[in-house]
Amino acid sequence: MPFIIAIDGPAASGKGTIARALAAHFGFHHLDTGLLYRATGAKGGDPVAAALGLGPEDLGRDDLRSAAAGQAASRIAAIPEVRAALVDFQHRFAAQEPGAVLDGRDIGTVICPHAQVKLYVTASDDVRAARRAAELGADPAQMLAELRERDRRDTERATAPLRPAGDAVVLDTSTLSIDAAIADAIAAVARVRAEG
């Protein structure tokens, strides 16, 4: 049975960086599930048809890391039919040996509630806005407003809202360096693997 690490958290919390590092450290496959929603939103047209027709080439688009793609992803992620269309893809990915790391908004609560390790990565609003502004070369105040709007949509949606799983390890990266956050995450996974 593959070992699954589910990582959830809001935008710019560091979850993607941590997920990639964990996958590399343990030799697991990695999926940024947000790319599925970003690619679906970027395709335009009917979101459900776009989700059903999503292919590997769609995940390689250059514009998927833009703020506009993130906002589009958040809007279409609230559509239950879009989420349902992308669930099978995520389940198949998680079933790969020797293991998989999936990061997103509902991995530990909806997609992989049976994951052996669940992390909820978070950081303060101001820290997240500063990170995203630096990444995109944008205005921190504008990023703060956009992140708060996205957080509101993600936590208030009826289907699969953003929230930590009941058994998730919460990792607040507000005051941690990247190396320290990764080390804490590796330690959390190593503890569970040692117990297993």
Residue 17 counted as an annotated binding residue:
yes
**Tokens (6 digits) for 136:** 């995109």
Residue 173 counted as an annotated binding residue:
no
Residue 12 counted as an annotated binding residue:
yes
- The set of residues, in sequence order, having a beta carbon less than 8 Å from that of 59 and lying 6+ positions away, is 35, 36, 39
CA distance 5 to 24: 13
Residue 10 counted as an annotated binding residue:
yes
Q: Which residues pair with 14 in a beta bridge?
A: none
CA distance 111 to 94: 9
CA distance 162 to 147: 13
Residue 15 counted as an annotated binding residue:
yes
Residue 41 counted as an annotated binding residue:
no
Distance of CA 100 to the CA centre of its chain: 13
Residue 44 counted as an annotated binding residue:
no
Binding site as annotated, residues: 9-17
Binding site as annotated, residues for ATP: 9-17
